[in-house]
């Protein structure tokens, strides 16, 4: 899976599993980011009334940029719309030093 945040020329920001095609991006399971107030966003299916089982192809003419989203957004997307895989945040682990002996 290649989860990307895609900004369209219409101003919509989508998160989807993205595949690069010749002159377009194929978006599978796209969701739209919606501001919910209190400096937070929600994600809901994009075009929920359309049959997009195979994804939707959007011409590069309508795409401003595509970038990896923040880890929290990836986890939220995966838990609700993706494969269910949630990656824990990276933490520094300290413990006893290991000594190798022969």
- How many residues are recorded in the chain? 102
| Nearest-angstrom CA–CA distance, 70 and 73 | 5
| Nearest-angstrom CA–CA distance, 7 and 2 | 16
> Which pTM was predicted?
0.78
Kindly state whether residue 35 falls inside one of the protein's structural domains. yes
pLDDT at 93: 52
Kindly state whether residue 92 falls inside one of the protein's structural domains. no
Kindly state whether residue 66 falls inside one of the protein's structural domains. yes
Q: How many CA atoms lie within 13 A of 99 on its CB side?
A: 1
Q: What is the pLDDT along the chain (102 residues), one digit of tens a residue?
A: 899 999 999 999 999 999 999 999 999 999 999 988 888 888 999 999 999 899 999 999 999 999 999 988 888 898 888 666 555 666 555 555 545 554
Domain count, the chain: 1
Kindly state whether residue 63 falls inside one of the protein's structural domains. yes
Q: Name, in order, each residue with C-beta under 8 angstroms of 95's C-beta and a sequence gap of 6 or more.
A: none
- CATH code (residue 51): 2.30.30.100
Kindly state whether residue 95 falls inside one of the protein's structural domains. no
Kindly state whether residue 91 falls inside one of the protein's structural domains. no
Q: Residue 27 belongs to what domain range? A: 3-80
Write the burial class of residue 28 (CB in 10 Å: 0-12 exposed, 13-18 middle, 19+ buried).
middle
């Amino acid at each position: 899976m290649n989860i990307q945040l895609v900004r369209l020329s219409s101003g919509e920001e989508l998160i989807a599993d993205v595949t690069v095609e010749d002159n377009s991006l194929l978006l599978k399971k796209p969701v739209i980011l919606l501001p919910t107030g209190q400096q937070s966003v929600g994600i809901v299916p994009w075009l929920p009334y359309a049959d997009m089982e195979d994804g939707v192809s959007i011409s590069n003419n309508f795409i401003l940029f595509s970038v990896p989203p923040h880890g929290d957004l990836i986890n939220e997307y995966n838990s609700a719309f993706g494969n269910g895989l949630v990656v824990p945040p990276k933490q520094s682990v300290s413990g006893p030093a290991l000594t190798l002996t022969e």
